[in-house]
A and B are shown apart, each in its own frame.
Chain A
Amino acid sequence: MTVPKIEFRNVNLRYFTTKGETLALKDINFKVEKGEFVSIVGQSGCGKSTLLSLLAGLIRPTDGEVLIDGVPVGGSSPQVGFMLQQDSLFEWRTIVENTMLGPEIRRHNLHEARLRAEGILKRYGLGDFLESKPSELSGGMRQRAALARTMCLQPDILLLDEPFSALDFQTRLSIADEIGDIIRKENKTAILVTHDIPEAIAMADRVIVLSRRPGRVKSIHPITFPSHGEERPGSFAAREATEFPAYFNTVWEELEVHVE
């Protein structure tokens, strides 16, 4: 058996504040294979973003292990790219300079990094905006620039922490579709954290539902669209697929959303 790309093995996470001790994640166990796209859904505060911080090496688990290619995560690695809710483009830098931030921090060869950054931006339809400031771009373009910045370090794992939630609905649909497409084409392993159930289903091969705090893996749902044949449809088309409503209902019920 091959080693999974990502594995959470018996992970607990506790943190301490002056107000007390909180168990944020309990007994987390799951694997993600190379090239797979997994969505994680759960209610606010269930620790889903914390899972990504563990993978990115920003925090350490209290117990258990977080493994990438079978090796425990020991700190931030250029192999892991992170996309946050805010695009957080630096407004004092041009788009191409923003894209080169990763290689600059990692002290790579800047000439090569620039060529790579320009190539990525052109592929993402931002070729005319290399020297623009972020303020000159629309929300969707900014998010694409943020993806370019993440891709510039050539990660093979992408962590997406609600990267579309700051966008308006239409932009959100088309950007999610585009970015999902790019990630699949480049055969990256991706984990998307979101509270948007349709988005989670439309983009992923599997949806993991987390329980309320302390977050546990409540259920895992493989998402397939036999009505579309072998090829997995893009996230836009997936929303129209006949299987979609059933997935939605299942995940919705699992989430036990209570409106108080």
Chain B
Amino acid sequence: MSSNVKAIVAPSAEYRAWLAAQRRNRLLIIAAQVGLILALLVAWEVAPRQHWVNPMLTSYPSAIWTAFLEMVSSGELGNHVMVTLMEVVISFALAMLFGTAIAVVLWMSPGLERVLDPFLVVANALPKIALVPIFYIWLGAEGSIYAVAIAVALFITILMLYTGFRQSDPNKIKLARTLGATRSQILGKVILPGNIHTFIATLKANAGLSLVGVIVGEFQASKEGLGYLIVYGSQIFRMDMVMASIVILGFISLAIYALIQWTETRINKPSGRV
């Protein structure tokens, strides 16, 4: 039954040449990627220094690095990063929690879903960023950041999960019914475990969205966080500060994504045997 057929015969010369070509190809692609980054960095460094472009507007890598080190040594950067991270993690978790709960309730009561469907579609399509001023007036600086970050991620969570639930294999549901399953047992034994991948996909979409929500929230209201740093930097024309913050944001989203990716491979690994 196993497909692990080991070749006992020594690989042919053609096969080894093919493998080498494959390896060469992979290396070439990585080299091209590294080269592209280096070229961009060099161009970004040289052009402003030679005053081909205005360094006030673009800043350049070595200046950004200096600004980064300054902010680190003064201790303020750590604080800003922590504040933003906290806001992202909390609003991300809350959006997933509420979104999942609402999707489950909708699945459990299809009548409710039919009533709410157009409202959800409109709420999802509405640019939540437009609500920032309202949230600010209602909830104050701190609260509005969470509110907008949750609002950005919540509706897409509900829609993605609910769509996944609805598209669950009807044969599995029928099978569970023939074994006597109630609706909540179908939820627990068929719908939820069958939608782990939908859940992961939703996590991935939300990681980015929560970050967007938090940064926009901070633009409007905050005295701390990377969003604040970006707005503040641009107001005092410190492009190095702005760019450093953006680079850090890039790394944060990369880290969150990698964490989700790691979780996904853990889940996909077949259990029971190595």
**Residues of chain A at the chain B interface (Cβ within 8 Å):** 56, 58, 76-78, 80-82, 84-86, 88, 90, 92-94, 101-102, 104-106, 131-133, 136-138, 141, 153
Q: Are A76 and B178 in contact (CB under 8 A)?
A: yes
Residues of A within 8 A of B175 (CB): 82, 84, 88
**Most A Cβ at <10 Å: residue of B171, B175, B271:** B175
Residues of A within 8 A of B160 (CB): none
Could you tell me the distance in whole angstroms from the C-beta of A74 to the nearest C-beta in chain B?
12
Contacts A88-B171, A88-B175 known; list 7 others, CB within 8 Å: A58-B178, A90-B193, A101-B189, A102-B179, A105-B179, A105-B181, A105-B185
Residues of B within 8 A of A78 (CB): 180
Could you tell me the distance in whole angstroms from the C-beta of A121 to the nearest C-beta in chain B?
15
Q: Are B179 and A94 in contact (CB under 8 A)?
A: no
Could you tell me the distance in whole angstroms from the C-beta of B263 to the nearest C-beta in chain A?
15
A76 contact from B179, B190, B270, B272, Cβ within 8 A: B179
Q: Are A88 and B169 in contact (CB under 8 A)?
A: yes
Q: Are B176 and A131 in contact (CB under 8 A)?
A: no
B273 at the interface (CB under 8 A from A): yes
**A105 and B193 contact, Cβ closer than 8 Å, known pairs A84-B171, A88-B172, A131-B272:** no
Q: How many angstroms between the C-alpha atoms of A136 and B3 in the bound complex?
A: 9
Bits for B11-39, please: 1 = Cβ < 8 Å to A, else 0: 00000000000000000000000000000
Could you tell me the distance in whole angstroms from the C-beta of A210 to the nearest C-beta in chain B?
21
**Most B Cβ at <10 Å: residue of A131, A136, A138:** A136
Bits for B158-185, please: 1 = Cβ < 8 Å to A, else 0: 0000000000010110111111110001
Output the nearest chain A residue to B267 by Cβ-Cβ distance: A92
B196 at the interface (CB under 8 A from A): yes
Q: Are A90 and B270 in contact (CB under 8 A)?
A: no
Could you tell me the distance in whole angstroms from the C-beta of B94 to the nearest C-beta in chain A?
27
Output the nearest chain A residue to B174 by Cβ-Cβ distance: A84
Q: Are B179 and A106 in contact (CB under 8 A)?
A: yes
Residues of A within 8 A of B176 (CB): 101, 105
B1 contact from A85, A131, A138, A153, Cβ within 8 A: A138
Q: Are A106 and B171 in contact (CB under 8 A)?
A: no
B194 at the interface (CB under 8 A from A): yes
Q: How many angstroms between the C-alpha atoms of A102 and B189 in the bound complex?
A: 11
**A137 and B189 contact, Cβ closer than 8 Å, known pairs A82-B175, A88-B172:** no
Residues of B within 8 A of A94 (CB): 271-272
A-B contacts, 12 listed (Cβ < 8 Å): A58-B177, A76-B177, A84-B175, A85-B171, A88-B171, A88-B175, A90-B172, A90-B189, A101-B189, A105-B180, A106-B180, A137-B1
Residues of A within 8 A of B181 (CB): 105
Residues of B within 8 A of A137 (CB): 1
Could you tell me the distance in whole angstroms from the C-beta of A229 to the nearest C-beta in chain B?
37
**Most A Cβ at <10 Å: residue of B177, B179, B271, B273:** B179
Residues of B within 8 A of A136 (CB): 1
CB contact list, B188-238 vs A, under 8 A:
189-190, 193-194, 196
Output the nearest chain B residue to A86 by Cβ-Cβ distance: B171
Q: Are A133 and B270 in contact (CB under 8 A)?
A: yes
Q: How many angstroms between the C-alpha atoms of A84 and B175 in the bound complex?
A: 7
Could you tell me the distance in whole angstroms from the C-beta of B152 to the nearest C-beta in chain A?
31
Q: How many angstroms between the C-alpha atoms of A84 and B179 in the bound complex?
A: 12
Residues of A within 8 A of B174 (CB): 58, 84, 88
Q: How many angstroms between the C-alpha atoms of A90 and B190 in the bound complex?
A: 8
CB contact list, B235-274 vs A, under 8 A:
270-273
Could you tell me the distance in whole angstroms from the C-beta of A226 to the nearest C-beta in chain B?
37
Q: How many angstroms between the C-alpha atoms of A133 and B180 in the bound complex?
A: 24
Q: Are A82 and B178 in contact (CB under 8 A)?
A: yes
Residues of A within 8 A of B1 (CB): 136-138, 141
Q: How many angstroms between the C-alpha atoms of A40 and B13 in the bound complex?
A: 60
Q: How many angstroms between the C-alpha atoms of A85 and B181 in the bound complex?
A: 19
Q: Are A92 and B272 in contact (CB under 8 A)?
A: no
Q: How many angstroms between the C-alpha atoms of A81 and B176 in the bound complex?
A: 11
**A101 and B171 contact, Cβ closer than 8 Å, known pairs A90-B193, A131-B272, A131-B273:** no
Residues of A within 8 A of B171 (CB): 84-86, 88
Q: Are A76 and B180 in contact (CB under 8 A)?
A: yes
Output the nearest chain A residue to B175 by Cβ-Cβ distance: A88
Could you tell me the distance in whole angstroms from the C-beta of B50 to the nearest C-beta in chain A?
59
Output the nearest chain B residue to A133 by Cβ-Cβ distance: B270
Residues of A within 8 A of B178 (CB): 56, 58, 76, 80-82, 84
Q: How many angstroms between the C-alpha atoms of A136 and B1 in the bound complex?
A: 8
Could you tell me the distance in whole angstroms from the C-beta of B59 to the nearest C-beta in chain A?
50
